[in-house]
Amino acid sequence: MSNHDLKSVDQGLSDQSELDQPALSQLRIPLRWRWTALVGFAVTIAVAVLYMIILDIERDAWLQNQATQAELQVERLSDELKLPLLSGSSSETGVAVQRFLHKVPTVLGVLIHLPNGSNQSFGSVESSAPVLQQMVANPAADQSVIRLPLQELWYAKAAMFDQTSMGIVAVRFSEQQWGRIANKLTQEILTAAVFVVLFSALLVFWIAGRMSEPIEMLAVAAAKVSDGDYQVQLKVSGNDELSDALRQFNVMVRALAHKEALRDVFGRYLNPKLVSDVFESADVDMSSRRQEVSVLFADMVNFAPFSESTDTSKVVAVLNQYFELFHHIISHFGGHVDKYIGDAVMVVFNHPLADEQHARRAAMAALAMAVACQKLATQGHDGEPIRFRFGLNCGQAIVGNIGAVQRLEYTVIGDAVNVASRMTGLGDGNELIMSRQTFDLLGADFNFDSIGMCDIKGLKHAMEVGRVREANQAARLAIDVVVAAAFESWEGQADA
């Protein structure tokens, strides 16, 4: 790997872009609305509880004040009724009570319980007699004014004359004043509550919005990163937990971008599938094993005289042109470049990506590469177009780590590789050579022009080899489509 590539990676990672925030389309309840509803509910409950407490305190205070006033009024009435009760004149008693009701408008009714068990009632005295009957035996009745245990406001006192009870006087007072006080208090508290709830809701909505904004930015950015955009960088401000999360997210994205860039750079030099597996998991299986593969060699014809008579930069440029086209074609058919050997390229099919039709795809790739050479038609040292010879073989090979501890190469070796390499020397430019045994694995759409039995170096027995070409228009059309796509992609990279 060159220093230039590594510098390009680091330079690209140093650039930061501002985040474009697309609207989130998924159905959801925003955090600011949840917090607003929660705080609004909590404030409403708190105000309601506070209202009940205040109302209770105010009622206790009013009842205490009412008791003080009632004691004076009941004492006054009982004193006025002593003589009428002593004389037994019911008319005088009625006059005194009516005069009292006229002077004290807060009194709704008066009930007098006589010692003989009879009652005299004036005004509204519903259902009070049974309680007054019980009060007769109450020792406190002849001592002071007491409030009767009724829902209404009843206060009673024994009318005493010379230590003798003339009867029990009970007075019912109106609660209308408390109703006015309670209504006024309710209106004031309700007005204050509405103001407090609205103010707190708006404040919480604004605060929650400020808090949820970086969270929404984080969600949008995470979605972009999941789609492969590693240039996302969030704007960070503040010194709280949210700003720390945004800073760490930016660090994470830069680390992912660096990892992805390194993967791309290493993928240019090593097996892309292997690089991807290593980056994705530390448990990737890189142990050596035997596997059936199809090995394709492409070797440039007359490279030695071309390189001797041509400027070095042009030699490299020409090779890169052809290898770039070859790469697009090879990738389309599912193979991968195992290595470049000077002017030759070694391609492997069925490793690391499994492919049941690897032999057929390898043959299609070789024929497409030959068509691409004819279409490019770059001139060599003698004015003739540059051509490549292609050799293909299918068989068992050893897949494993080859090399020293400090420098390993994960590649394929064995007779299948050697035979494929030997096949390139048996043909001419833009010809695909393979054995009859490999040809039988291709299936339909191919013709085999036998060269005859050939002795292959490294093998004990001779094998029949021949030239392979497409057999019909459909196969040629499929090859032309792939070649056209390869040229389009190559020209697009050149323009870029």
- Domain span at 417: 286-495
In a domain? residue 108:
no
Q: 247-304, pLDDT tens digit by residue?
A: 888 888 888 888 777 766 555 555 565 656 655 655 555 567 888 999 999 999 888 8
Q: Which of 364, 341, 472, 317 is nearest to 417 (CA)?
A: 341
In a domain? residue 55:
no
Region 445-453: mean pLDDT is 90
Which CATH number does the domain housing residue 338 bear?
A: 3.30.70.1230
Least confident range of 149-153, 295-299, 390-394, 429-433 = 149-153
Residue 238 backbone class (left: φ over 0; alpha: ψ -120 to 50; beta: rest): left
Coil, strand or helix at 352: coil
Give percent helix, percent strand, percent coil of the chain, each to the nearest 5: 55, 20, 25
For the chain, what is the domain count? Answer: 1
Q: 106-126, pLDDT tens digit by residue?
A: 888 888 877 777 778 888 776
In a domain? residue 338:
yes
In a domain? residue 329:
yes
Q: How confident is the model at residue 229 (pLDDT cuts 50, 70, 90)?
A: confident
Q: 137-195, pLDDT tens digit by residue?
A: 454 445 678 887 777 888 888 887 777 777 888 888 888 888 888 888 888 888 888 88
Q: Distance between CA 496 and CA 494 in Å, rounded?
A: 5
**Mean pLDDT taken over the chain:** 80
In a domain? residue 388:
yes
In a domain? residue 489:
yes
In a domain? residue 136:
no
Q: 356-369, pLDDT tens digit by residue?
A: 899 999 999 999 99
Residue 154 CB coordination number (10 Å): 24
Tokens read off for 37? 């509803």
Cα first-last separation, the chain: 23
Q: Angle formed by the axes of helices 3-14 and 241-269, to 10°?
A: 160
Q: Which long-range contacts (CB under 8 A, 24 or more apart) does 238-246 make?
A: 242/211, 242/214, 242/215, 243/214, 245/214, 245/218, 246/214, 246/217, 246/218
